[in-house]
Amino acid sequence: MARKKAAAKEPKPANTLQDKLLRLGIAREQDLVLHLPLRYEDQTHLCPLSALKPGQAWQVEGVVANTEIQYRGRRQLVCLLEDGATRGAQLVLRFFHFYPSQQKALAQGKRVRAFGEVRDGHFGLEMVHPSFQVVAPGTPLPDRLTPVYPTTAGLSQDALRKLVRRALLADPAYLGETLPPWTREPRRLWGFAEAVHFLHEPPPKAANATAQASLDQRTHPAWTRLKFDELLAQQLSLKMHRRARARRKAPRLPGDGSLSRALLARLPFALTRAQQRVAAEIRRDLARGEPMQRLLQGDVGSGKTVVAALAALQAIESGYQVAFMAPTEILAEQHYRKLAAWLDGLPLQIAWLSGGLPAKERKKSLAAIVSGEAQLAIGTHALFQEEVVLPKLGLAIVDEQHRFGVAQRLALRQKGIGDAHQLMMSATPIPRTLAMSFYADLDVSVIDEMPPGRTPVATKLVSQRRRAEIVERVRRIAAAGQQVYWVCPLIEESEKLELQTAVALHAELTAALSEFKVGLLHGRMKPAEKAATMGGFVRGEVNVLVATTVIEVGVDVPNASLMVIEHAERFGLAQLHQLRGRVGRGADESVCVLLFEEPMSLLAKARLKVIYENHDGFEIARQDLSIRGPGEFLGARQSGVPLLRFADLERDVALIERARDAADELLRREPAAAQAHLERWLGGKQEFFRV
């Protein structure tokens, strides 16, 4: 009983106006100036009820004939409006969520002006949740477009409009110009105050279809100015970070080439020209006393790991330690196994560290890392937890860096590796616009050539209805001595459910293909079990490998020529491209079968169409960016990071380039103006653009 009382007294979470504004990213009064409209409503004229057509937004005025609460499946407030001008002309206003005050306002006989989209209802035309106000006869109409702002629960459009209007009048500094005339005039940019006023309060002349379209599509010169300012703030932040990095000191790691030469001599392949070029770029960076921050991009199977290994050996030759981090345990483990095999017998020690290590082994690895005895530490982000200290860290290598999320990368950079060289690797090619805007503080190297002997993989889209045919195809391929991957669907909500699905699929294929060995690989297996299964597959003892997405990156089995992806519609484009890249590594013709369940969402159809039609990772990444948007592509959506609010990376490429040039100019000629511009746009958030 006492417990119940205590629970009842718990304070409710704060939900003040300040909390609501913070949810919208508004921390200071001047931030309201940059809280720009999503769209505009044309409330400058009325449409008679008799002239209404469904499928469009209209503004109407009429007298309430009747208002009542109805229960048709759910409780709703229904108001019948008549204009009295045309016999029988009526409109229903329907509200599923409403307050007693709204019911009271819509009392019989009240004159109401309402705005909303008209649709066909059960009893004629209706508006669902229109905005409305009670008016006196002859109340004048607005003479300009009405802004509609991004908002949050409990904060009405009217309240937001009042707050914005107050901020526009509060302090002249809020609308002060941060760009000198020599930046604005050659680029034909509007003044800041003029652009802001126009967007918040479009003048009467903007209430025509052409002007409204340019405002809604954000092509109007007022929008151009604000988008330019936003991009300029981002570029300034990144360039200032780059300058600060140039002033920091990093250990010079020239190396003597002894370990690198030993590795190259024992590899069963020669480096491609692209690998040689990129390795030389990294070698030069490491020999300098300024911290390297280089992004190494290369499509699936282009050979990034060997380039990273050469960089690591150069640091070790120079007497320093190297940390090699990957986002998942199985990927980190694959790097560990591959590097351990390549470097076996060379005079260096490798330590493996992950969250899943038994206490005794973890303690041993930690001791080797902390003492500096282990020159190469490989692991997941467990490498950068509090108790892990790398006393002589010279180089940090981060694989699949976009999968860490911006906040994690930020923590990584602040974890005592600020003055170490950094090499970030990505098998998800980053489109040019994204590289220009979000990675402007990095040097970028691209391995744009595939090793010889790689055959293109044919991609086939197959409905689940034809599943039996695919099982037969697997049988034929296994009988011919080749191997098959069959990847389980991704079930993000539940690792447990994903595991059950993998076990069920393994049982199904074991029964159907009883004459062959079917292996199972998933993230919850013990490292020794995973190693044994994978080893069996690599040696050709396992014919078919049922796996969760743990095999997405890094596995190299030239004899595998068929990849079946179960429920391909659930996967992202980058994952599908990565998985497809697991086959086609040998001389045999390879196929990737995308099994899909019908019906599919439009988004899933769009993704499968892209992967079916394209093999170039950069083109896939470009289309992925346009489907998903930069937040998800960068791994930033989950980190609450302020990405671009107004500019569009696909449509505003020319503007990004202009902002990049202007940032250099401004920093060189008027650093105080650059600082004022950053303060307006990022006020305390700059660190997020430094990742």
DSSP 247-298: HS--------SHHHHHHHHH-SSPPPHHHHHHHHHHHHHHHSSS--EEEEEE
The band of 683, judged by pLDDT with boundaries at 50, 70 and 90, is confident
- Distances in Å between the Cα of 21 and the Cα atoms of 160, 163, 351, 414 are 9, 10, 48, 30
**Which H/E stretch holds residue 396?**
strand 393-398
Across-strand partners of 592?
459, 563
| CA–CA separation, 395 and 385 (whole Å) | 17
Residue 632: the pLDDT is 64
Closest to 397 (Cα-Cα) out of 375, 420, 372: 420
Residue 490: the pLDDT is 60
Residue 411: the pLDDT is 54
Higher pLDDT, 222 or 688: 222
Whether 395 contacts 288, CB under 8 Å: no
The band of 11, judged by pLDDT with boundaries at 50, 70 and 90, is very low
Q: Is 48 left (phi over 0), alpha (psi -120 to 50) or beta?
A: beta
Whether 258 contacts 310, CB under 8 Å: no
Closest to 333 (Cα-Cα) out of 399, 289, 265: 399
The DSSP bridge pattern shows strands 90-95 and 124-128 to be: parallel
- Of 361-370, 519-528, 645-654, give the lowest mean pLDDT range: 519-528
Across-strand partners of 564?
486, 593
Provide CATH code, domain 45-141: 2.40.50.140
| CA–CA separation, 147 and 161 (whole Å) | 8
pLDDT of 475 above 80 = yes
- Distances in Å between the Cα of 299 and the Cα atoms of 399, 430, 444, 479, 536 are 13, 10, 14, 31, 27
Residue 630: the pLDDT is 67
Structure tokens at 467: 């599943």
Arithmetic mean of pLDDT, 675-680: 93
Arithmetic mean of pLDDT, 97-115: 92
Arithmetic mean of pLDDT, 88-110: 91
The segment(s) of the chain belonging to CATH 3.40.50.300 are: 457-614
* Residue reference for tokens 């309240």: 159
Distance, C-alpha 481 to centroid of its chain? 41
Cis peptide before 452 (omega within 30 of 0): no
Residue 631: the pLDDT is 62
pLDDT, tens digit, 9 for 90 and up, residues 225-251: 999 999 999 899 888 888 887 888 889
pLDDT, tens digit, 9 for 90 and up, residues 379-404: 987 777 767 788 888 999 988 765 55
The mean of the pLDDT values for the chain is: 86
The segment(s) of the chain belonging to CATH 2.40.50.140 are: 45-141
| CA–CA separation, 312 and 684 (whole Å) | 36
Structure tokens at 7: 């629970």
Half-sphere exposure of 304 (CA within 13 A, CB side): 26
Residue 550: the pLDDT is 61
Give per-residue burial for 172-200: e unless 16+ CB within 10 Å, then b: eebbeebbeeebbeebebbebeebbbbbb
Half-sphere exposure of 35 (CA within 13 A, CB side): 27
Distance, C-alpha 115 to centroid of its chain? 36
Residue 413: the pLDDT is 55
Phi, psi of 563 (to 5 degrees): -120, 120
pLDDT of 284 above 80 = yes
Give per-residue burial for 352-367: e unless 16+ CB within 10 Å, then b: bbbeebeeeebeebbe
Arithmetic mean of pLDDT, 524-536: 80
Higher pLDDT, 40 or 436: 40
The band of 6, judged by pLDDT with boundaries at 50, 70 and 90, is very low
Q: Which 3 state secondary structure label does DSSP give 336? A: helix
Closest to 537 (Cα-Cα) out of 526, 525, 521, 513: 521
Residue 617: the pLDDT is 83
The band of 10, judged by pLDDT with boundaries at 50, 70 and 90, is very low
| CB burial of residue 377 (10 Å; 0-12, 13-18, 19+) | buried
Provide CATH code, domain 457-614: 3.40.50.300
| CA–CA separation, 592 and 485 (whole Å) | 9
Q: What is the dihedral of CA 151, 153, 159, 164, to 10 degrees?
A: -30
Across-strand partners of 63?
82, 111
